[in-house]
Structure 1
């Protein structure tokens, strides 16, 4: 099993990924568990969840996993928050060794339209952050150095997004030139489990965890099967769905906040 942590976390934090690792080992004795790190130590790994190039991080993980003998036959993967999105990037871009099943918890697969934690909030902090984000998110510097900017999909700025997005627009095959390998690789999954949190305010809209997103006017959230990424099968979602290999799960609570026992007994492969 391979784990990819979320924003503000690290590969080996005892109270997060360390706890998850021990939980899996206790339920499946003898299983090999690898927790991805994108930097040399725990502190730098946590920092890399905020700063750096996501493309470079995915490339690094491709090399990292290829070098682990225990994974040569393939593995099951679990991604938490942005780690689930990045793990999907691994599947689509390299997938050697291959992922059999992918579980993502609260992952922003269709991007986010709001500053994390500011949904419905009009505080001075949120107002300031919105102003900064709308003005700078698609700048060259932000798109190459700020991790969260690389999956930001702001309403009313689609042209800028498609032109400048360094990660999400590519991995979702949203540009005119499509990468057929992405659909080919993702559709090889035996199972894709998408977990959404009912009270999630960290990813907006929360339906992004199920490949849902706002319509062009921002008036309504359209589900996955109403999105072009699905109807035109840009990344293989429709093929997976028609083969009954996508599982939608919903759990109560805030962003990636469920008790580990309850969560993994329900969703673990």
Structure 2
């Protein structure tokens, strides 16, 4: 395992202000993402989680400040190069259900294939390694339309792994999953950060699970963004301010929210 103290952050946001047109969603943002970290972005609906992710991935320009990836300004990175640095897994992803699992995972190699989209031996090796890592090699020829939500989520993760980027962003990766599969997916993400040393950043409403499994938490609340370890966040009392106190409260002893 790489010693994190000896490397610079993969991604940094410096004095960032995010929003749309003249509407500021959050400001004075400073975050750092290191290799082999699992990072959850949490906050109430409409707090700005998606806006933050879109800005960090280059899909939305910051109102001010800058984002650095491997010490280079995001605005100076070409679209081609960015596809080699960042892979994105969205909750609602449109795809042909007639594609086989292997074919969908192979789409992750598009940044590296020639203009005909032909896979080299290196591309095929990356696809096979991703299938093995997600333990879905036995489903490689199955049609994606025949998979369960949980199985399909693993296929999208395998596609992101096959893309071989140091950063993976996911938007609500446990949506539509039952409790067992929510835990399964988040534990899988944790395992992937350790095996691949990739940084995985995901937006989630599963705050209790994120506090148990993540290395870092980015909290978006009332126009401010805080980055802390789960332990630091719990001690900070910021979680107590996240929801109105008439229905739910955060219990530091159990590290979870509970109904009043």
Shared topology, TM-score over 0.5?
A: no
Using structure 2 for the length normalisation, give the TM-score. Answer: 0.28
Normalised by the length of structure 1, the TM-score is: 0.28
Structure whose CA Rg is larger: 2
Higher RCO structure (Cα 8 Å, ≥6 apart): 2
Q: Identify, as 1 or 2, the structure richer in helix.
A: 1
